Structure 1
Amino acid sequence: MKIFFDLFPVVLFFAAYQWGGIYWATAVAICASILQIIVLLSLKKRVEPAAWIGLVVIVIFGGLTLWTKTHPIGGINPTVFIRWKPTVLYWIFAAILFFGPLVLGKNPMRALLGKELHLPDTLWGKINLAWALFFSFLGAINLYVAFHYPEAVWVKFKLFGLMALMIIFIVIQGILLAKHINQNNDQQ
């Protein structure tokens, strides 16, 4: 259920794009992200740091998209900002994963999943690195599609392509971790 809630702004972005174009989609995504946080806060649920980061990024980059549509900046297509938004978000996540262990002295993936998974320290390091590299890749592939294909293709890729890549990565990681998870269940 949580994954559907997390995808709420992206799905609404796609639907709004089909109905009214990129500017409507951008406005809807901003509103949906704000609403998502409001709902969590009103239900007294914890708002994950990733959700706060996502909100800030969509408000800034979506806001710049909408603002520059009515206040043009010489020669800059206003949609450049919204097309950069997924890359910026993924690269922020990658930076947190790359530099978190150095700056904070903690493994971010272990902090996130350590209650559910009991794994050796070396494996946590590999998981953290794998996710950091994966988010770096997602950011790069988003830029490629955003600036080498028509806008409509990018919008579809943003929902379906990036989600498919995420699901494939999670399944592969689950398969690779299964033996460690089974070993931990046997020891308990």
Structure 2
Amino acid sequence: MSDRQPSQGLKTALELGPVAAFFAGYMLLRGETFEVAGTEYSGFILITAAFVPLIALSTYLLWRLTGALSKMQIVTLVLVIVFGGLTVWFNDERFFKMKPTLIYLIFGGILGIGLLRGQSYLRLVMDEMVPLDEEGWMKLTRRFTLLFFGLALLNEFIWRTMSTAAWVNFKTFGLTAAIFVFFITQGRLFRDHGTGEKDG
């Protein structure tokens, strides 16, 4: 494994590329049906079948380039493989739509367990990126826990009550926007509890 770090552009492309490809593929094939080995599959199912090896490849390349993967990346990959596989095997798109719900419930649950133990598990993942004091980490962890549970509920509401097209747009843009807005709204916490210890 190489110690050389990839450029930020390449890293971002590998992280976001599969999601962008899924969205583009769905927009291209939505409403279409295809017969494979005597079974009819919707465009959504076929795109899901392509998405699973694509995200596996991008995760592998990230690991080869950086020498490490975060626990979040590993859990996400495992759930994509499991739920993507179930979606294709049973020819039922509901499995893949449930995936974000389970991902956010797992992350929220892990952070919640840490909070009950008086610890910030979020700090173990993000300490090098966000220099905060102990109180700041506990506050941020509580807010992230609520965010994850909220996103899990929102995903369930959208896929159960809205169209597949609406869910794909939500998954591609809505979830990313929600996390971006969340970080923007934490400016005061970062200012009040930032330690500045990692400036060098």
Cα distance, 1:112 vs structure 2: 1.8
| Separation of aligned partners in 2, 1:148 and 1:47 | 35
Partner of 1:138: 151
Would you say 1:30 and 2:52 are equivalent positions?
Answer: yes
Kindly indicate whether the alpha-carbon contact (under 8 Å) linking 2:136 and 2:190 is maintained by their aligned counterparts in 1: no
Would you say 1:60 and 2:82 are equivalent positions?
Answer: yes
Partner of 2:16: 7
Kindly indicate whether the alpha-carbon contact (under 8 Å) linking 1:109 and 1:124 is maintained by their aligned counterparts in 2: yes
**Structure 1 or 2: more helix by fraction:** 1
Ranges in structure 1 where 5+ consecutive residues have no aligned partner: 70-77
Q: What aligned pairs does 1:117-132 form with structure 2 within 5 A after superposition?
A: 117-132=130-145
SS in 1 for 2:185: helix
Partner of 2:67: 45
Identity of aligned residues (%): 32
Cα distance, 1:44 vs structure 2: 5.0
2:98 pairs, out of 84, 87, 110, with: 84
Would you say 1:171 and 2:184 are equivalent positions?
Answer: yes
Distance 1:108 1:149, change over 3 A: same
Q: Which stretch shifts more, 130-139 or 4-13?
A: 4-13
SS in 2 for 1:43: helix
Cα distance, 1:119 vs structure 2: 2.4
Query: How large is the RMSD of aligned CA atoms in angstroms?
Result: 2.2
2:165 pairs, out of 152, 173, 180, with: 152
2:126 pairs, out of 110, 113, 116, with: 113
Q: TM-score, normalised by structure 2?
A: 0.79
SS in 1 for 2:124: helix
Cα distance, 1:145 vs structure 2: 0.8
Cα distance, 1:13 vs structure 2: 1.4
Q: Which stretch shifts more, 132-141 or 8-17?
A: 8-17
Kindly indicate whether the alpha-carbon contact (under 8 Å) linking 1:12 and 1:28 is maintained by their aligned counterparts in 2: no
Amino acid at match of 2:17: F
Kindly indicate whether the alpha-carbon contact (under 8 Å) linking 2:122 and 2:137 is maintained by their aligned counterparts in 1: yes
SS in 1 for 2:103: helix
Kindly indicate whether the alpha-carbon contact (under 8 Å) linking 1:16 and 1:25 is maintained by their aligned counterparts in 2: yes
Kindly indicate whether the alpha-carbon contact (under 8 Å) linking 2:119 and 2:138 is maintained by their aligned counterparts in 1: no
| Separation of aligned partners in 2, 1:116 and 1:68 | 41
1:17 pairs, out of 22, 26, 46, with: 26
Partner of 2:174: 161
Ranges in structure 2 where 5+ consecutive residues have no aligned partner: 1-7, 30-42
| Separation of aligned partners in 2, 1:145 and 1:166 | 17
Tell me the matched-pair count: 177
